[in-house]
Structure formats: structure tokens, C-alpha cells
Amino acid sequence: MDSVDLEVLRSASRWFKSGHAVILATVVKTWGSSPRPLGAMLAIRDDGQVSGSVSGGCVEDDLIERVREHKLAGDKPEVATYSVTKEQAERFRLPCGGTLQLVLEPVKDGAGLDELLGAIERHELVARTLDIETGKSRLEAGRWSDALEFDGKLLKTVHGPRWRLLIIGAAQLSRYLAQMAQALDYHVTVCDPREEYAEAWDVAGVHIDRGYPDDVVQAMNLDAHCAVVAVTHDPKLDDAALLEALKSPAFYVGALGSKANNDKRRKRLAEFDLSAGEIARLHGPVGLKIGSRTPPEIAVAILAEMTAVRRGVQLPQTVEPPKAGIESGCGVSQN
């Protein structure tokens, strides 16, 4: 789930415990263009304070006014739709004539928010089902393939890390990549069998697996919600992971290194049981060409490209700016 929406749940739980009435709004359907995706959440306190967002701001303003005036979701959940008419579209300024449907849930005892937050903090994938008629909810283990579902009677939302990232190598770049990826709601695993790197790994919330990369890739049973990025500069480790990852349904597979090094890597991979199409899936040099030099910049470039691929955005190659007067270091410049 979006980290913004995780903070929404935390705020809703905290406010409710402190004695406030709280409405939890969830985007359940959109038509046309919409500022926030399905599942985006907004918590509204009885005094008008909010956490999160469901639109560009005007829908939030209307909801705040209605909450203050006690005009919505008093006893049980209800459905609200914005921009059905031209007048509403102009009033709420949803882009491109977009329409937004929300489920508005009054937070009650038994909503299970604390249990839900606990599961999320344990990096578990959880599905929450809300009965619109009764206001009752239940939690159950989620699956990687789960998505938001709403049939007018039951709302099923998915919480926790639905996307996974496996990083091969536990060096400095991996730290930035892992931390930034967590902020983008990836469940991150780092694989490094090298003792000197594995024992120094201390990034909170990121498990390190000391198995050999190909075994770790196979054990993770990668699916279309997974990405693999190899950053060790050691062919024995990187190539072992890539051989398995490129055969998997993972949506993104990348490897650090210069163009020349990745050309050599592709020749090595071609000697094994990989097809030309599978090898062509490799993003190497990994990341968008944004002139990245430092480990944090390279992490930004990698995650930007992963995001583009994940969202189905076709980006043209960006021309790398000249590096006059700057020497390229093995562990820093990668394009």
C-alpha cells in the first residue's frame, strides 16, 4: 500500500483513541483521469483535520465541510460520487472530466485498525473486507495478486507491501536503494553471501539473506509484482541471480555497471539456457540516464526507471550529460 495511506490509518486510529469521531474515505472507483489511485485513503477528524488525500483538494474541502456539519457517514458506511455532472466537475475541478467514487466509513470500535496496522508493520500482506450495510469488517491474509474490489455491498482493500524488491549485494548503494524503495512501499530483501558485507547490514525493516543468489531468487518464487536489481559488480553473484530472475515473471530485472560491462554480461548469459527475449529484458546499465554519480543519485535513477516500467510508461532514453573533469569510480558512476 502507499506509505501515505499507511499514515492515514495511523492517524485515524490515534484520533479515534483520543475521543474524536473519524471518517475514513477510500477511493473505490474512478472514471477518466484521477489524481489518486484506487485504494487511496483520507482520514477526516470531526474538527476538520485531515490526513491523506483522495483528490487535488476540492473534494477534501467538501468532505471536511460535510463532516463538520454532521452530514455524512454517521452510523454506517456510505458511498459518495463526485463529478457525475458538468457542474460538479467544474466545482470539484477533477482533471479531464474525471469521476471519483468513495466509500466513507465512520471509524468504530471493532474496526480492526490496530490489528491491521500491526500486520502491516510486520510486513504482512493483509486483505480487509468491509460490509457497507453493517459496517463490520474482517481481516485475512492477502495474496500478491489481490487488488481492491467493490461491488456496492462489500469493499475489499489490500494493505501491506504488494510489491517486492530483491537487491543482490549489501554495499553502500544497496542501503540507499533499500531505504528509498521502502518509502515507495516495496518489501525489500537483500541477498549477499559475503560475510564482510552481510554482517555489516543494519537497515531497519530489510531482511538480509545470506544464501547464494540463484537459490534466493528461486526460493522467493518471483511474480509480476517483483523486481530484482544486482549491484555487487561480481559476475559470480550478479549473473547467478540474473540467470534465474530473467526467466521469472518479475516486472523489472536490472544490473549495475557500464554499458561495456553489461554487453559482456549479456554475452555470458547467452551461453546459458536463456533466450534472446529473456536476455533483452535486462535493464543494464540499470536506471534512467539522469547523470547520476553518487550512490543516492543512482538509487533515484534505478527507482525512477522501476516506477516507469511498473506504471507502463514508455520513456525515451535521456541523454547523459558530459562528465568533463570528473573521474568515474567503479562503485559510483554506473551509466
If asked whether residues 59 and 205 sit together in one domain, one would say no
Q: Is 298 found in the same domain as 216?
A: yes
Q: What is the DSSP letter of 89?
A: H
**Predicted pLDDT at 228:** 98
Helix (H) or strand (E) holding 301: helix 295-311
Kindly report, residue by residue over 248-273, the tens digit of the pLDDT.
999 999 999 999 999 999 999 999 98
The CATH number for 253's domain is 3.40.50.720
Q: What residues contact 108, with CB distance under 8 A and at least 6 apart?
A: 135
Distance CA(331)–CA(17), nearest Å, equals 49
Q: What is the pLDDT of residues 51-94, one digit of tens each?
A: 998 886 778 888 998 888 888 767 889 999 887 555 555 555 55
| 246 touches 222 (CB < 8 A) | no
Q: Are residues 101 and 186 in the same domain?
A: no
| Rounded-to-integer distance, Cα 150 and Cα 166, Å | 32
Length of the chain equals 335
Residues 228, 274, single domain; the answer is yes
Distance CA 18, CA 43 (A): 14
pLDDT at 32: 65
* pLDDT reported for residue 184: 87
Q: Is residue 318 part of a domain?
A: no
Evaluate whether residue 60 is within a structural domain.
Answer: yes
Range of the domain at 195: 163-311
- Per the CB < 8 A criterion, the answer to whether 139 and 115 are in contact is yes
Query: Do residue 81 and residue 121 come from a single domain?
Result: yes
The conformation of residue 86, written as its DSSP 8-state character, comes to: H
Instruction: Flag whether 37 is in a domain.
Output: yes
Q: Based on the number of CB atoms within 10 Å of its own CB, is 31 exposed (0-12), middle (13-18) or buried (19 or more)? A: middle
Same-domain pairing of 15 and 97? yes
Determine, yes or no, domain membership for 259: yes
Separation of alpha carbons 101 and 99, rounded Å: 7
Q: How many domains, the chain?
A: 2
Residue that is last in its domain, among 143, 159, 175:
159
Mean pLDDT per 10-residue section of the chain, whose length is 335 residues:
76 95 92 76 93 83 87 83 62 59 92 90 86 94 85 92 90 96 90 94 92 96 92 95 96 95 95 94 94 95 95 70 42 44
Predicted TM-score (pTM) of the model is 0.64
* Residue 335, in any domain of the structure: no
